[in-house]
Amino acid sequence: MSEVVTTTPGLFPLPDWAKDELSDLKGHQKADLIDGSEGGAIEDAYERVRSEYVDHQQSAGLDRVVEGQGRWDDMIAHPLAVADAVETRGIVRYYDNNNFYREPVVTDDLAATGDVAAELDAASERVDSGLQAVLPGPYSLADLATDEHYGDDGAFLDAVAGFLADEISEFPDVETLFLLEPSLVENPPGDGEDERASEAIDAVAAAADADVVAHTYWGALGEKVYAHLMDADVDAIGFDFVANHEDNVYNISEYGTKDDVALGVVDGQNTLVEGPDTIAERIEWVDDNTPGTDFETVYATINTETFYLPANKYEAKLDALAAVNKAVISA
Amino acid sequence: MSDTREQFRPENHPNDHFLLTTVVGSYKKPKWLDRARELLEDEDASFDEDDWQEATDDAARLITEEHERTGMDVICDGEMRRNEMVEYFAHLIEGYEFNGRVKVWGHNYFDKPSVVEEVEYGEEWLVDEFEFTDSVSERPVKVPITGPYTLANWSFNEVYDDEEQLAYDLADLVNEEIERLVDAGATYIQIDEPALATTPDDHAIVGACLDRIVDEVPEDVRVGLHVCYGDYSRIYPEMLDYPVDEYDLELCNGNYEQLDVFTEHEFTKDLALGVVDAHVAEVEPVEEIKENIVKGFEVVPPERLTVSPDCGLKLLPREVAYGKMENMVQAAREVEEELDAGEIDVGLAAPTSD
């Protein structure tokens, strides 16, 4: 029977003290956001944020611990926002949310920055086992960015995949890597593009010496996109069972899935806190409704990033997820 | 729908033509009012609710008079008593709870409330605000109210099956508030629905909300709808079916690139055209504003054009906001004179053949 592993896609909300302290230190305008060159008091504040995130995940008892991505002012566009070959321009809407990020415009050859690796290095000092890296998937990162250098969509996607692979090669040892791919749902690739998206994910996954989860959210993948994604050599695909359980179950039943699976069973965008029993029921529901599958590892996760939530509710959700009775599910 | 505009023409209006001049609502708070709020929230300070009431009265009087001095036809108090457009109402409606700030972008946060029980009318929302403003102003007062769709969309919904049901329940509460406002003498209500611009596919829900909002509201009460910063082609012409007299639209910020959207299909209601930019901290010269006003005649004739800023002016320094309003009113009066003299011959402002 499956092993249940509790985890999250990261991008946590800043603690309230950090919201105040960092607004005072950095300011409120777009030029004040993270560019990767911060130091001193700002770096120190983020170090305290990181330690709070790690402590909370460990005391709650989550099986995988993320760095928390408190610095990611531009959400999952962050890795590009701090890259040298990128200009950050106007504020643009982040998917279908009342949230905004700086449009990253690629103007030169992309080169890895080591920015995410440095965050993971800092987190690894506090985490003995179960460290999980989080990155945008190449399709979503390319979708959120604008290309003024590579010239065509295929070349740009390959360049973004290569950039992410180079970032990964600088990572310390991590147990798991979550590649967040909401654009596969929100702005799905068309014919031909879907195959390229899968190949790009494959190329990024190949760079990681860790279990790789290609995590999707805000709905279910179209059948063709899903079928292509199955060709990518990842260890698990992640499904958002909060946003759409029927189509996700359909995809799994119709096309199968990897040996492992990630199930988004906690709502990262609503303050209503699901209890451990409710979370367990949702995991069991998926298991019951996909009779043709036998998952080896089930990553039980929050469906989306959690920065949408007030800090108290995000903490309560982590606690509830960590408290799921795995014995009942595995029985 | 009856003509609700003429009641706002001032007795001493200098021109035959009348372009109704007004604002969207919010205005920069005086620094001392921000300080007063800090004192109110500081448990160690002796500043209490009575002091806060006095401070907000002072601010509302100050800003109401500032609006009046511009010569504007219909004024507001600049929403001096409201901290934010969703939070303010959520604090007064039963069924809401606050858990803390959430990120909008960068280090800009919003105390996004959660609906934890079915919503009910709790404390009165705006009658005191209206009565005070009305008592200190010689001019008619417009009351902006955050619309139910935005109140629903910008909250966490823990209770309702979907956001639509929550929006309808909130629409009934807005209707109740408007009844109270009308009883108190209000004649001009503006429903603010900025969330419609971000989720235009829900325009039918907004329409159903508005049906509930205007239910049994007397016909002579002018009802407007304010929408901003979106792709209007996705809600037009469908929005013309909404039961409102006027649409207040931001168009200046986008340099009127979306004006064409409204000319393909006849604009059958009044247009409140944004003629100064709420996000540029420079006062537009009168001549430039006049050119913007004249663009409105491509969509509606002068008797159906209202002139206002794009959006609330609360992010602008006060002197800039004042300058924009003052120039806007002067520009409108000059355009009226030119219309009277038959000097403007553009779009629907062209003299008819008879």
- Which pLDDT does position B353 carry in this prediction? 47
DSSP state of B113: E
| B156/A73 CB distance under 8 A | no
Number of domains in chain B: 1
Low-confidence residues of chain A, pLDDT below 50?
A: none
- Which pLDDT does position B354 carry in this prediction? 47
Number of domains in chain A: 1
Q: Measuring CA to CA, which residue among A52, A63, A101 is closest to residue A79?
A: A101
DSSP A58-123: HHHT-SSEE---TT-TTGGGHHHHTSTTEEEEEEEE-TTSS-EEEEEEE-S------HHHHHHHHH
Inter-residue contact A135 to A177 (CB < 8 Å): yes
Q: How far apart are CA A113 and CA B237, in angstroms?
A: 49
B103 within domain boundaries: no
B209 within domain boundaries: yes
B287 within domain boundaries: yes
For chain A, counts of helices (H) and of strands (E): 13, 11
B53 within domain boundaries: yes
Q: Which domain holds residue B306?
A: 16-82+119-342
| A96/B198 CB distance under 8 A | yes
With left for phi above 0 and alpha for psi between -120 and 50, is residue A38 left, alpha or beta?
Answer: beta
- Which pLDDT does position B352 carry in this prediction? 54
B125 within domain boundaries: yes
With left for phi above 0 and alpha for psi between -120 and 50, is residue B61 left, alpha or beta?
Answer: alpha
- Write out pLDDT tens, residues A207-216: 999 999 999 9
CATH number, domain containing residue B314: 3.20.20.210
Q: Which domain holds residue A323?
A: 3-330
| A13/B102 CB distance under 8 A | yes
- Which pLDDT does position B349 carry in this prediction? 84
Instruction: Give the gap in angstroms from C-alpha B287 to the nearest C-alpha of chain A.
Output: 29
Backbone angles phi, psi at B272, to 5 degrees: -100, 105
CATH number, domain containing residue A231: 3.20.20.210
Q: Is A331 exposed, middle or buried (0-12, 13-18, 19+ CB in 10 A)?
A: exposed
B78 within domain boundaries: yes
- Which pLDDT does position B199 carry in this prediction? 84
Q: How far apart are CA A55 and CA A32, in angstroms?
A: 28
- Which pLDDT does position A309 carry in this prediction? 98
Which residue of B102, B108, B199 is the best one to mutate when testing the A interface, meaning the one whose CB has the most A CBs within 10 A? B102
Q: Is B260 helix (H, G, I), strand (E, B) or coil?
A: helix
With a CB cutoff of 8 Å and minimum separation 6, the contacts of B54 are none
- Write out pLDDT tens, residues A68-108: 999 999 999 999 999 999 999 888 889 988 899 999 999 99
DSSP state of B69: H
Q: pTM (2 decimals)?
A: 0.90
Q: Number of CB pairs < 8 Å for A and B?
A: 67
- Which pLDDT does position A30 carry in this prediction? 80
Which residue of B101, B104, B107 is in closest CB contact with A22?
Answer: B107
Low-confidence residues of chain B, pLDDT below 70?
A: 1-2, 351-354
| A96/B105 CB distance under 8 A | no
